[in-house]
Amino acid sequence: VDVTAWMPHGRGSGLRFAHEVGMSAFGYFENTFGGGLGDGCGVPYALSKLDLLGIKPHRGIGLENFGCITFDIDFFSVSDLMTGWSRRRRISRLICHEVSHMWFGDCLTPHTFDELFLKEGVARYLEFVALDDILFGSPAS
């Protein structure tokens, strides 16, 4: 699967970090739920690509669409010199959260919006589990 990251012309210098986290998050979820190299549950990602798109203006800070996740550019772009660890961690969590929705929210969707808390709750939990695995190589217990 081709994971790419995009931003408007002239803003691309802050793209590398988001792209690396996006590729790592996708790898984690595909391995965990897609039946990749691990003992996944056998629901592989159905498309040949996943685009991560930083845009302005944006309603909210991130929104999953099957095959294309949109982010508010201010919560997506990382300047190597100007962005501290806390901000990088928050951006990483957001990316992990939205990528998790490719499985919990897109492949597996609640019946009604009354059950929206299910996909958001699972994604909130998984953002921490995935990021822990990406950063430290072992899932949170």
What 3-state DSSP class applies to 43?
coil
End-to-end CA distance of the chain: 29
The count of residues in the chain is 141
User: What letter would DSSP give residue 65?
Assistant: E
3-class SS letters over 66-120: CCEEEEEHHHCCCCCCCCCHHHHHHHHHHHHHHHHCCCECCCECCCCHHHHHHHH
- Can 98 be counted among the known catalytic residues? yes
φ, ψ of residue 2 in degrees (nearest 5):
-90, 110
Catalytic residue among 30, 64, 98, 127: 98
Give the catalytic positions in this structure: 98
